[in-house]
A and B are shown apart, each in its own frame.
Chain A
Amino acid sequence: MINNVSSKIKNISTLQYKEKKFEYWGPTPDEARKSMVEKSHALKDKRVTLKEAVAAHVKDGINLGIGGFVNTRVPVAIIHEIIRHGARDLTLSFQSNSICPELLAGAMILDPDRVSIRRVELAWWGYEIIGIAPLVRYLSTNGIIEMDDYTNYGMSVRFKAASMGIPFIPVRDHGGSDMELVNRGKMIECPFTGKNVYLLPACHPDVGIVHTTAADMYGNARIFGAYCTCPEIAMASTTTIMTAEKVISTDNIRSYPNLTEIPYPVVDTVTEQPYGSYPGASYGYYWFDMDHMKMFRSLCDDFRKTGNKEGLKKYYDEYIFSCDTYDDFLEKVGYKTLKKLKDMDGGQAIILT
């Protein structure tokens, strides 16, 4: 039935690559189902500190699914805590992201015994207007991490398939491009139309990390602005660690249940963390901090160009390792910066009642 028909035989580029043997890069669909069934599905208070959440769930060797999109609603507070805690041999999965994987990559460059990335399944890793991401360029061109490329739809719908409890999903992209050759999807002949269609395997992270607009103590969450792929990642993951700009009452959730984008059974921990995406943006609360992103990016680029880790080390010492919590980091960023970013959001409409 498997019918490799497009670029594989027509060879339109000069690409050279190693064949990958298929395997899921995280829990299999059966394992993910089993872990969900075995969890308590009670409405219980899941509020913990980020330190407790990360210590309980983030282990070496896991597939870490990262929410948000590029600079928007990225789970930076959780990433800081993961770096303090340490996590080696990680597989990262996301569609498009900027500072979250760069922060992990920088931690790996400074101390691979604390944080290390083994491989990444992704669509895009960069800063958009601010520039390319220096550390993925460094790690990839030196052959230090393995890459597995999909489109933004591909990665999103792989999380979606996982959230639906199905092992794969047919899509109308990737085929005929070299992603068909290098990634773990497969071209088949559709049993109904008889035409070629590309299949992508579900992506179940061991741990999904998402930042939401608001959630109750059970993990029922609302997202305003673009959802990105946060609902799908939360529902796909074996364990979901969530930060929310604000914890709201369950009465409010029950008043407008249609607004719940992430339902409580798929959430394991809830932490109220204002500015939890900073220096990324969170719709209705604050815009992204281009200056901070540029500053961090330039330290990474200095390392890439010179091999000198001093600037990077200073950043991590100042903003991550000398901070006990994310609030300590925000205090260093300062009220005036946070207030300016709040003003730049322009008061986009969100519903917390």
Chain B
Amino acid sequence: MSEYTPFEMIAYTGSRVLEDERIVFVGTGLPIIAAMHAQLTHAPNLYMIYEAGSLAPILEMGMPLSVGDTRAARKACYLKGLCGAFELTQRGCADYAFIGGAQVDMYGNICSTIEGNNYDKPGIRFPGSGGAGAMAANCEKTIAIMALEKRRFVKKLDFVTSIGFGDGSPDYREKAGVLGSGPYRVITNQALFGFDEETRRMTLLEVKPGRTPQEIQDLVDFELIIPPDVKEMAEPTDEDLRLLRDVIDAEGYFLKRVIKK
């Protein structure tokens, strides 16, 4: 088996999580790559929504570099604007939200607005919700990509941008007026997380071969649920890596990025 990078592991795991005959509302970067990989392998009937307004495009111009890229509109089945894309979602056509963020808590709430908790004068201002808050509210299941670091898997967020299970109470999402069932998977390059049905808390499902559940817990600031049957994450094959490197992101826009510390 070939060596693979953290980004390649995330994209490959994202692809594995997506089922065929579903619609995924994608964010820029690794979510698009994961969905394209799924289409080329186990999920030929998986389709994408791009928030600028396109449904089920054929990406023959190459991978869109952003969700607003004109390439994402190529040969779509339906092409409107943001209202069109999000109203399809609110109506129930989008099965997966595929988003990222700066911080996540144990109930899958995500921050992508500020760091430092003073809204009027934050320590860092991020770009903002973009589509993420609406996707996490109204796609049926939310998949998040995060870097596995203690400062990102936090006890309390600085700002809740994208709703997860709130404070974990069973009716939080209903009282919030949102429609989707909520957090489904959190993907990192070293572990795959799900959520416990009973408590709605983040649960360790799989670890990268060679890592132990305790090593993963050490990178998380809140207490994970660690069931006895934690599995090993599947690793990308040579063919998966060829698709990712030579077919999907052939110019290396996302997969060859250098990780900044």
Contact = CB atoms under 8 A, between A and B. Distances in A.
Interface of A: 5-7, 10-18, 69-72, 95-96, 122-126, 128-129, 132-133, 136-137, 140-143, 146-147, 149-154, 156-157, 160, 171-180, 182, 187, 195-198, 225-232, 281-283, 287-288, 290, 345-346, 348
A177 to B, nearest CB: 5
Nearest to B115: A141
A205 B164 CA distance: 32
Given A5-B175, A176-B137, 7 more contacts: A17-B118, A69-B52, A153-B87, A176-B173, A187-B177, A227-B80, A228-B81
A172 B179 contact: yes
A70 B130 CA distance: 10
B83 A142 contact: no
A151 B160 contact: no
Contacts, number: 259
Interface in B74-128: 74, 79-84, 86-87, 89-90, 105, 107, 109, 111, 113, 117-128
Given A128-B66, A152-B51, A136 B125 contact: yes
Contact of A13 (B124, B131, B134, B160): B160
Given A227-B53, A348-B70, A16 B130 contact: no
B156 interface: yes
Given A141-B121, A172-B138, A178 B28 contact: no
A7 B176 contact: yes
Size class of B's contact patch? 35 or more
Nearest to A122: B128
A172 B125 contact: no
A72 B69 contact: yes
A10 B117 contact: no
A176 B81 contact: no
Contact of B79 (A10, A128, A174, A226): A226
A12 B160 contact: yes
A72 B177 contact: no
Given A6-B166, A72-B70, A176-B175, A14 B128 contact: no
A137 B125 contact: yes
A236 to B, nearest CB: 12
A133 B53 CA distance: 23
A134 to B, nearest CB: 10
A154 B83 CA distance: 9
- Specify which of A152, A195, A283 lies most central, judged by the most chain B CB atoms within 10 Å of its CB: A152
B4 interface: no
18 contacts: A10-B169, A13-B111, A13-B158, A18-B120, A72-B69, A128-B67, A147-B125, A154-B133, A173-B86, A173-B137, A176-B137, A197-B177, A225-B73, A226-B50, A226-B80, A226-B81, A228-B82, A346-B61
Main secondary structure of the interface of A (DSSP, over half): mixed
B235 interface: no
A14 B127 contact: no
A280 B39 CA distance: 29
Contacts of A187: 177
Contacts of B134: 151-154, 173
A176 B113 contact: no
Given A96-B68, A157-B83, A226 B156 contact: no
B129 A6 contact: no
A240 to B, nearest CB: 16
B18 interface: no
Given A141-B122, A156-B86, A173-B178, A231 B129 contact: no
Contacts of B167: 10-12
B166 A7 contact: yes
Contacts of B90: 153, 171-173
Contacts of B129: 123-124, 149-152, 154, 179
A128 B28 contact: yes
B166 A129 contact: no
A132 B70 contact: no
Contact of A151 (B68, B118, B132): B132
A183 B113 CA distance: 13
A152 B161 contact: no
A67 to B, nearest CB: 10
B220 interface: no
A180 B111 CA distance: 14
A307 B54 CA distance: 41
